[in-house]
Structure 1
Amino acid sequence: MTVKFLKEILEWILVVIVSLSLYFAITTYAAAPYTVKGHSMDYTFADSDKVLINKVSKNYERGDVIVFHANETDDYIKRIIGIPGDTVEVIDDVLYINGEKFEEPYLEKKKSELKSNSKNVNLTLDFNIEYLISTKSKTVPEGSYFVMGDNRPNSTDSRSFGFVKKDTIVGKVMLRYYPFTSVKTF
């Protein structure tokens, strides 16, 4: 073996080490891939969609889609509906935040599908966070969020498990990168 050949091998080893270090640093601190499991976010996300999560931003707003630790082994993907201080209720399939009607365009396809299959059925059953067993609070507490899946009849969300604490949030979805035919930024 020549010195030149050994030098080239060492350079390649260095490139691999630096690349792996960068990958682990980015996925640990800045962004992380996540695979959607289940149908609670249909039609925004489908089962097995692959998304990239922004782990840096800690400024979460109403309408953001987030991934959070639901328990020690499972992460969930849901949409933030209520932020700290909000009142949240649904009456006759209309979302009201702080008493004001809140538009949810991401539900239109699901609502029209439901209406075409059966008459007079609401996508979201009526509720008020003050009277839910899981929340029992007039407003969303400080440091917490009220989240729901976009596929409301088939979503385990804050209506059943309560508020999501900010410190359990992994990050917000910024990109769907797979399937390649559905690439989209959020």
Structure 2
Amino acid sequence: MTNHKHLKYFIKVWLIPAIIGILIAVFLRSNYFSFVRITGVSMEPNLVNNQITLLKKKARVSRGTVIVFKAARSQSANTGLDSLALRVIGLPGDKISFLRGHLLVNGKQVNESFLTASEKAATSMSVDSGWSLNSLSLNSNWPKNQRNIKRVAKGTYFVLADNRLDPIDSRQYGLVKKTDVRGVLSVFPWAGKKIVKNVNHTSENFYR
């Protein structure tokens, strides 16, 4: 086989398929999914530091899903992170409260089987009487356009950390804008059956 034929064979059999494969991978990564490494302890015990996860950029955001979003400036200053992974609790129009040890969305108790008893209790932020979305919104860390609200605002989500002792979530910093959401996070099967259920499928059984 001549050098010319060798070159044509290489281009046809190896180079062109490789280029096509790279372009497809770049397209999928840019538009549909990417890999995300968890940083920090805010989602323990369900997601741990340095864990590799899958980010689905076109997936539907529901109550119970874990999202990755661009951190607010104050959150970023506090954590040193540009993006955070937290769990969606409230959708636009929802009323959120924590009363008598129970997390409520629109008056219905949330099924928090993905948390330990101590983590559930920590949701209170040491406020004995509990809190409502309205009382949280009076926090000076909340954006001014989210102050004194009674329901989750249009185009936003109320999010909580699974590690409720680490209040870098909506209790402290306000609602997450839909435009800042980068996708819905999933774990791989080898994370274990319990973790897969707690991260990938919580939205299927959100209420008690």
TM tier, shorter chain? 0.7 to 0.9
Deviations 1:75-127 (A, max 9, x none): 110100111111111123310111222221111xx32xx39xxxxx9221132
Which residue, 79, 92, 106 being the options, matches 2:114? 106
Q: CA deviation at 1:181?
A: 4.9
- Equivalent pair of 1:64/1:172 in contact (CA under 8 Å): yes
Query: So what's the TM-score if we normalise by structure 1?
Result: 0.84
Closer, same or farther: CA 87–160 of 1 in aligned 2, 3 Å:
same
Report the equivalent of 1:19: 21
What 5-or-longer segments of structure 2 have no aligned partner? 74-80, 125-129, 201-208
Report the equivalent of 2:131: 127
Closer, same or farther: CA 99–68 of 1 in aligned 2, 3 Å:
same
Query: So what's the TM-score if we normalise by structure 2?
Result: 0.76
1:80 is aligned to 2:81: no
Q: Distance in 2 between matches of 1:70 and 1:181?
A: 26
Q: Distance in 2 between matches of 1:69 and 1:181?
A: 25
Q: CA deviation at 1:3?
A: 2.6
Output the aligned Cα RMSD.
2.2
Could you tell me the percent identity over the aligned residues? 28
Which residue, 32, 35, 38 being the options, matches 1:33? 35
1:70 is aligned to 2:71: yes
Report the equivalent of 1:176: 187
Q: Distance in 2 between matches of 1:60 and 1:122?
A: 26
1:157 is aligned to 2:159: no
Q: Point out the more displaced range, 161-170 or 131-140.
A: 131-140
Deviations 1:28-76 (A, max 9, x none): 001111111111111111111111111113x321111111111486111
Q: Distance in 2 between matches of 1:18 and 1:154?
A: 44
1:3 is aligned to 2:7: no
Q: Distance in 2 between matches of 1:32 and 1:165?
A: 21
Q: Distance in 2 between matches of 1:170 and 1:44?
A: 20
Q: Which runs of 4+ in 1 moved over 4 A?
A: none
- Equivalent pair of 1:33/1:53 in contact (CA under 8 Å): yes
Q: Secondary structure at the match of 2:58?
A: coil
More strand by share: 1
